[in-house]
Amino acid sequence: MLSAGKAVKVIIYVSEGSTQHGIPTYSRILDFLFFRGVSGATVLKGIAGFGADRHMHSSSFVEISDHLPLKIEFIESREKVNELLGKLEDLAGSGMIEIQETMVAKPAQPSKAKKVRPAAHQKIEGNARLMRIYIGESDRWKGRPLYQALVEAMRANDVAGVTVYKGILGYGAHRRIHKDKPLQLSHDCSIMLSAVDTEEKLRAFLPLVEQMVEEGLVVLSDVEIIKYSHRPIEVDSGDGMA
């Protein structure tokens, strides 16, 4: 949480067309900052520029370029920035990161979001833990579907993977039957999120789950991982442009 006084301004330059794992780089950076409790961040789009490849990119009605420069800016304490910098360097890829000393004259309203300490991703094999989160399809968090926010939070916190399942019949603490009928659209079906990772990683993520899930069920089970692998993923790295 920011307070008045000395702080640092971080500016990350990436290309609009830059992606990682099929997701726009700027979106991954925003997700990371959001779920790490950064006070606020802004994405600004350039209309012309060039980067390390010395190619000029510009926006015009005749030719729409997806390599225009983007700038992600946020202000935080020096300690918080030092905590995030390593992951931000990975996310920025070939982009550039600039840090400026600044002064906060008036901080924004304090956020109630809890900070989650980042944990490095690691290879998983043998004994692990399975986390299941049971919620309702209509549950929301900050105006968004809760299940979607949980998936994005897990991705931002480097949880190995998560799958969302939609129930077709069930009931919960309120003893109401929830159905999914072909001729009757329901927006309150049961939703289950299933994630497998190390106990350390899931335990570190639990405080954020407790904050986001106001009504539901969260369980942890012991599992044994037989195989955990993925195909090589191409990372499209665009130029960072100042």
Average pLDDT over all residues of the chain = 78
Is 178 or 106 the better-scoring residue by pLDDT? 106
Least-confidence region, from 11-15, 185-189, 238-242: 238-242
Domains of the chain and any CATH numbers: 5-104 (3.30.70.120), 126-225 (3.30.70.120)
Q: Which residues pair with 14 in a beta bridge?
A: 70
| Closest CA relative to residue 191, chosen from 141, 145, 242, 156 | 145
Is 109 or 216 the better-scoring residue by pLDDT? 216
Strands 140-141 and 144-145, sheet pairing: antiparallel
pLDDT mean over 78-99: 93
| Closest CA relative to residue 220, chosen from 199, 241, 237 | 199
Q: What is the pTM of this model?
A: 0.52
Residue 80: band (very low, low, confident or very high) from pLDDT cuts 50, 70, 90: very high
DSSP string, 35-82: HTT-S-EEEEE-SEEE-TT--EEE--SS---S--EEEEEEEE-HHHHH
Let me know: does 119 contact 201? Beta carbons within 8 Å: yes
The predicted pLDDT at position 121 comes to 45
Is 6 or 56 the better-scoring residue by pLDDT? 6
pLDDT digits (tens, 9 = 90+) for 103-151: 888 876 655 555 555 544 445 667 889 999 999 888 999 888 999 999 9
pLDDT mean over 158-175: 76
